[in-house]
Chain A
Amino acid sequence: MALWRRNGRKIRNKVRYNRREVIGFYLFLSPWLIGFVVFMLGPIVASLVLSFMQWDMLSTPQWVGWANFVNLLFQTPQFWQVMGNTIFYAFILVPLSIVLSLLVAVLLNQRLLIRSFFRTVFYLPATIPVVAVAMLWSWILAPAGVLNELLSFVGIHGPAWLIDPGWVKPSLILVGLWSVGSNVVLFLAALQGVPKYLYEASGLEGAGLFTQFYVITIPMISPIILFNLVNGIIGSLQVFSQTLILTNNNPSGLMIIPYLYNQAFQFFQLGFASALAWVFFIIIFALTLVILKWSQTWVYYESEVR
């Protein structure tokens, strides 16, 4: 009986302590939770409701059902053109930036003189504000700008990079490649985490540099490749500032987010813009799921048991 009483108190104390822990947990979580609910979840739900309405901010919202989605998908050719621009931009930029940043990371991982200097230099562009980068590139890519001047030295007459319809998107991709520094940092950290003994052992077996890179390095850093791939796709599909500044609504360079911005805040078609936002979210979500599913065939996790 005494033991039970002692144990009863222990159990009660334990229950009280657990409850305190839980309360403490929610208290610490509450600032973020409140912020999330008020500033993210609330607007997300509101935009979902708005997507079924017609609203210009001033008059009473009117329920229109699926009309915004039908209009967007079947009656707005510009949407498909803009979607095409965005997918072209993202699907060319992301693989190129992964390859380029991996290459740079491999080089920076070598024992080079003033390696720290190069690491800083390659990362610096990622620290410059996007607007400043866009202004700089508008000068470089001007018809008589720096790039065309350099090309003229080798006898090439460069195009009007940000004006000619065929060159607008490649120019935007070039601007995007300039900021691979943050990917380089991640790859560098991943490369430095690959155990050296794997290279030593494979070297003893007669593996060359390329084989070691393909058989050891790539699988060992594949989680980081996946991370950069997913983040890159999501980020490049949502590109906004630099395309708005550099192309100024040129139809060949108009992307989804600037188009959405125009619909919502220039034309005050908030219902239509909300529908566009949700369609785009579904597309990105589906794409991410496909990539994650595909990644199961090539991403290697050390702790994974197959």
Chain B
Amino acid sequence: MMDRNKRWVACALSAACLAAGLTGGLVSGAHAATAKVNLVFTMWGSSLDTKTFTQRADNFTRLHPNVSVTVKNLPASTYVQQVKQLIVAGGNNTPDVIETSENGVSDGLESAVVNLDGYIKQSHFDLGRYLPGFVQGFDLKGDQFSIPDRGGYMVLYYNKTLFQKAHLPFPTADWTLGQFLNAAKKLTIVKDGKVVQWGVSVDDWNGEYLNFVHMFGGHMFSANLENCTIDNAKTEAGLNFFNNLAYKWHVSPTVQDYANMGSNVNRDVPFSKGQSAMTVDGMWSMTSFAQAGIKYGVAPLPKGPAGGAMMTTGTGLAIDQSSPNKALDWQFIEYMTSPQGQMPIVTNHEDMPSSKADIAVWAKTLPAGVSYAELSRASGEIFSMRVTKNAAEVWNAIGTDLTNFFDGKQAIGPAAQKAAADANHVL
């Protein structure tokens, strides 16, 4: 009797387990069929940048109803650090797609992102849709880690009102360094021993001086990116010309002048206040200069002995190694970097798109009086900063050793030698 009861209980239990398993499987199967995949996308920037990325992501999810995208805006100053922490922490916050700067991959994300060469080849992705120079910025030793997304490069901004007052012709794509310097001298106004208007405002950011290094035919690194070559003659000539704007010809504020203007003041401030006639900056400043009421134009940077140079300043999109949805991540990147996917960058006046097809449309949305015509004539002069390993540490070493040079306290020779030695120690 007891044995029979035990048998009945065992059968009932088995049947219950089987039923539970089957039901669970059916439910989970049904759940999987309808489950949404959530992609986490990390970026940095202003509220306009968040709005634009969200809009683009929403456009993607409209085409892929089973996908949702969470856009996470992380502080720019600690972006790489925070991305790494999200990856290490794991869970639902792990990024799938990461916005990167040109240095960002080498700044510590090298082991975090996927080499996209396989995806590019498999899907016949056309890198020729971007301006020459953009793609190289996201290439680390021959491997493509990011696809260009937001474009833009360094340009020369000039204050039309101040040029007209001085009866000077506006800069063009044919401007040379000599013409640039002459204009800067004529546009520098000194009253009672004090400069009241600068011809140009530049500071010690490498995004500016690297252009001048290129104009003189110099390079910061060897072709194989394993040696720092800042101490070669052409590089030093470019750096000298750039620094002489402040310390020899006095047409640009010095570090001391910027310190007198306030804390953390850079080249943008005097230009946006109408106190300098020219500045060198990225395209992201177009909207803010217009909002400051400055009637300005944009032109390519002047040509040096080795030609013109305009360094890219864009961002790219990369896939996180730990993402479980890599195929979907690639679809997301393909869409976001397509002409259709980049259109909100144009319509929101966020930045310049990297896709050539969108640039013509973008050029029509520039602030009143600003023309892309001269820039388009010089589009062949665009170049990307070459990315070494441990880029943050390398550039920190170079920046530290050039501090006294940019402060006007040291000649370029000894500063460059020390910078090369310290950078090579890191490399």
Contacts and interface: CB of A to CB of B under 8 A. Distances in A.
Contacts of B285: none
B34 interface: no
B88 A58 contact: yes
B259 A251 contact: no
Given A56-B108, A265-B78, A163 B263 contact: no
Interface stretch (A137-145, A177-185, A217-225, A227-235): A137-145
Interface string A259-274: 0001001111100000
A46 B425 CA distance: 28
A38 interface: no
B84 interface: yes
Nearest to B80: A268
Interface in A50-106: 56-59, 75-78
A200 interface: no
Contact of B390 (A59, A135, A249, A267): A267
Nearest to A160: B256
B393 interface: yes
Interface in B294-350: 321
B315 to A, nearest CB: 19
A164 B84 contact: no
B87 A58 contact: yes
A162 B255 CA distance: 11
Contact of B263 (A138, A250, A265): A138
Contacts of B87: 58
B288 interface: no
B104 to A, nearest CB: 12
Nearest to B421: A77
Given A56-B108, A144-B260, A267 B403 contact: no
A208 interface: no
B109 to A, nearest CB: 8
B111 A58 contact: yes
A193 interface: no
Interface residues of B, number: 32
B393 A269 contact: yes
A58 B260 contact: no
A57 B84 contact: yes
Nearest to A268: B108
Contacts of A262: 396
Contacts of B31: none
Contacts of B67: none
A17 B390 CA distance: 63
Given A262-B396, A267-B393, A268-B108, A160 B259 contact: yes
A142 B262 CA distance: 8
Contacts of B99: none
A267 B392 contact: yes
Nearest to A59: B111
Interface string B405-425: 001010000000000001001
A266 B396 contact: yes
Given A56-B111, A251-B400, A165 B84 contact: no
A144 B393 CA distance: 33
Nearest to A269: B393
B259 A163 contact: yes
Contact of A57 (B78, B88, B409, B422): B88
Interface in B362-398: 390, 392-393, 396-397
A165 B112 contact: no
Given A143-B260, A145-B260, A165 B392 contact: no
Contacts of B84: 57-58, 268
B108 A267 contact: yes
B259 A143 contact: yes
A75 B425 contact: yes
B263 A135 contact: yes
A57 B30 CA distance: 38
Contacts of B161: none
A163 B256 contact: yes
Interface in B72-87: 78, 80-81, 84-85, 87
A160 B321 CA distance: 48
A75 B424 CA distance: 12
A268 B392 CA distance: 10
Nearest to A135: B263
A58 B255 CA distance: 38
Contacts of B206: none
A59 B111 CA distance: 7
B38 interface: no
A175 to B, nearest CB: 14
B351 interface: no
A210 to B, nearest CB: 44
Contacts of A56: 108, 111
15 contacts: A56-B111, A58-B321, A78-B397, A135-B263, A142-B259, A143-B256, A160-B255, A160-B256, A163-B259, A163-B407, A249-B399, A251-B401, A265-B81, A266-B81, A268-B108
The 5 closest A-B pairs by CB, nearest first: A267-B393, A144-B260, A143-B256, A268-B108, A59-B111
Interface of B: 78, 80-81, 84-85, 87-88, 108, 111-112, 255-257, 259-260, 262-263, 321, 390, 392-393, 396-397, 399-401, 403-404, 407, 409, 422, 425
Given A58-B112, A58-B321, 10 more contacts: A56-B108, A76-B425, A78-B422, A142-B259, A143-B256, A160-B259, A266-B81, A267-B392, A267-B393, A268-B81
